[in-house]
Amino acid sequence: MIYLLLISLFLHILTFLAFIVLYKRQETHQPGHYEQQMREIEDMMISYTAEMKENNEKLLRRFQAEKAEIRKEQTVSSAPQESNVPYYPPLHAVEKDLHILNGAAQTYAPPKQPAAPAVYTPPEPAEPEAETAEMSTQSKVLQLHAEGKNEQQIAKELGIGAGEVELLVKFHQ
C-alpha cells in the first residue's frame, strides 16, 4: 500500500513539473512578444530595401554618366575632320563590288538537264563495328575482385585508393 502511495506522489510531482514547464513556454509566446518580433523583422526588411534602393540609384547614376561619356566620345569622333589623306573604302567592300560586277558581265547559261532519269541505288550499309564501351571504375574493381585479387592489388592496378576499393566491394556484397 505504501508502495502505491509513493508511486502516486511521484506521478503528482512529475505532473506539477510538466505544468510549470508548459507555463514557462506559454509565457514566451505571448502576443506582445510575437508582435515585437514582427516589428523587428519589418524594420530589418525596410532597412534592407532602403539600402538596395540606394545602391540601385548609385548604379543608375553611374550608367547614365558612362552613357553620357560614350555619347560625348561619339560626337567628338564623328565630327568631320579635315585632312589631306584621301578616303579609301575597306578592302572587303571593294572585293564584293568587283565580284558583283564580274558576275553581271558573264552571260547566263541555263542549267543542263539530264537526258534520262537516273536509277536510285541506295548505299550499302556499312558493316557494324564492334561496339566497345569503357568499363566504369566500379565494374573494373568488381571484375578484378572476382578474379581473386585483393584490395591492395586492385588499388595499385587501377590507381585508386585501397579504401575506395574496399568500399566498392563491400557495397556490392
Task: Please report the DSSP string for 63-125 in residue order.
Answer: HHHHHHHHHHHHHHHHS----SSPP---HHHHHHHHHHHHHHHSPP-PPPPPSSPPPP-PPPP
Sign of the torsion angle spanned by Cα atoms 55, 56, 61, 65: positive
Q: Is residue 51 part of a domain?
A: yes
Containing structural domain, residue 62: 36-75
**Are 126 and 119 in contact, with CB atoms under 8 Å apart?**
no
Q: Which of 136, 154, 135 is nearest to 169 (CA)?
A: 154
Confidence class for position 29, pLDDT limits 50, 70, 90:
low
Which residue do the cell numbers 552571260 mark? 107
Q: Which of 59, 75, 91 is where one domain is finished?
A: 75
The answer to whether the CB of 155 falls within 8 A of the CB of 140 is: no
pTM: 0.29
Burial tier of 67 (Cβ tally within 10 Å: 0-12, 13-18, 19+): exposed
In a domain, 153, yes or no: yes
> According to the model, what pLDDT value does residue 78 have?
59
Residue 107, domain member (yes or no): no
The answer as to whether 12 is a domain residue is no
Higher pLDDT, 9 or 122: 9
Of the two residues 46 and 90, the one the predictor is more confident about is 46
How is the chain split among helix, strand and coil, in percent rounded to 5?
70, 0, 30
Q: What is the pLDDT of residue 93?
A: 65
Q: Does residue 65 lie in a domain region?
A: yes
Confidence of residue 138 (pLDDT cuts 50, 70, 90): confident
Residues 163/140, Cβ–Cβ less than 8 Å:
no
Residue 103 sits at the vertex; the CA angle it makes with 100 and 108, to the nearest 5 degrees, is: 145
Question: Of the given ranges (18-22, 40-44, 107-111, 154-158), which has the lowest mean pLDDT?
Answer: 107-111
Residue 15, sorted as left (phi over 0), alpha (psi -120 to 50) or beta, turns out to be alpha
| Count of the separate structural domains present in the chain | 2
Q: Is residue 113 part of a domain?
A: no
Residue 149 lies in a domain: yes
Which tens digit of pLDDT belongs to each residue from 72-123? 887 766 555 555 666 666 666 666 666 665 555 555 555 566 555 667 787 8
Percent of all residues in the chain with a pLDDT value above 90, rounded to a whole number:
12
| Position 45 in a domain | yes
